[in-house]
Amino acid sequence: MGVTAVLALPLLLLGISGLLFIYQEVSRLWSKSAVQNKVVVITDAISGLGKECARVFHTGGARLVLCGKNWEQLEDLYDALISVADPSKTFTPKLVFLDLADISCVQDVAKEALGCYGCVDILVHNASVKVKGPADKISLELDRRIMDANYFGPITLTKVLLPNMISRRTGQIVLVNNIQGKLGVPFRTAYAASKHAALGFFDCLRAEVEEYDVVVSTVSPTFIRSSNVLPGRGGWQASICKFFSRKLTYGAHPVDVAEEVMRTVRRKKQEVFMANPVPKAAVYLRTFFPEFFFAVVACGVKERLSVPEEG
């Protein structure tokens, strides 16, 4: 009996490993089939997350339209994708210069992106501009620029490309948002406002276009490589705030987010919230126990910040 148990355990582990390998391979092939030959537009493709999204979609055989506001970096990304790709299984990416903060040019650039292949199957909104500082120290001009880049730019691009999806009765729009579309953190008023606005727009749009078989998805990770002001030494309130602040700022890796975007496209999921238990608990507290949540957040606001440069 003991010998049988000893022999059964390695076989069981081997069997589980084999099943996991098969599952991963099937998922990988399924992901490829979901985007193969599809026209995919990715904004801010030169960012860390944008590059990873470009990589997974390019590997999957998508026809990429990569958008960014730095032409040299776009060309570098193009070279990197081409150098590792199998030309018999992938398409040469198209490059489009796009600065979503420049609203006056977004419509024309959107038409250029649409003209690359005559249609768009998947639109991935990845571009985002961040700013941190006290509300009274951030100019209205900077507030407007944040709203242009994070809200008006994406919805302008969407409004130009959406009629094509509706007329073809197919398509998917993926908004890569942020936890601040669900709750606000001090010293990020403009950024949180833009993320709330974007999430509200695409939540409404989801219901409007469902009858045309157009899918609207939102992927909301926690902060990625951002920093918060942590309170100094103090009482239990400061300790709680410091704990929440550290946990809320623990961001997902760009590779993980890109893979989640691919899964969202493949499964046509409507909403994904990428977070560890503490940010999820914070959203729960904000919804059901707002006074407690506000007290925890406010206890950490002990210092005034100078307005840092845009990141």
Q: Which helix (H) or strand (E) holds 94?
A: strand 94-97
Across the strands, what pairs with 171?
214
Give dist(CA 126, CA 177) in Å, integer. Answer: 8
Can you spell out the DSSP letters for 122-188? EEEE-------S-GGGS-HHHHHHHHIIIIIHHHHHHHHHHHHHHHHT-EEEEEE--GGGTS--TT-
Give dist(CA 300, CA 295) in Å, integer. Answer: 9
Quickly tell me which residue has 């099937």 as its tokens.
Answer: 26
Q: What is the dihedral of CA 272, 278, 283, 287, to 10 degrees?
A: 140
Q: 143 and 186 in contact (C-beta within 8 Å)?
A: no
Q: Which helix (H) or strand (E) holds 250?
A: none
Q: 123 and 73 in contact (C-beta within 8 Å)?
A: no
Given 23, 78, 117, 191, which residue is catalytic?
191
Q: What is the dihedral of CA 106, 109, 110, 116, to 10 degrees?
A: -170
Sign of the alpha-carbon torsion through 51, 56, 59, 64: negative
Q: What's the order of all strands across the beta sheet hosting 122-125? A: 94-97, 63-68, 39-42, 122-125, 171-176, 214-221, 271-274
Q: Is 212 a catalytic residue?
A: no
Structure tokens at 52: 């990873």
What residues are labeled active site? 191
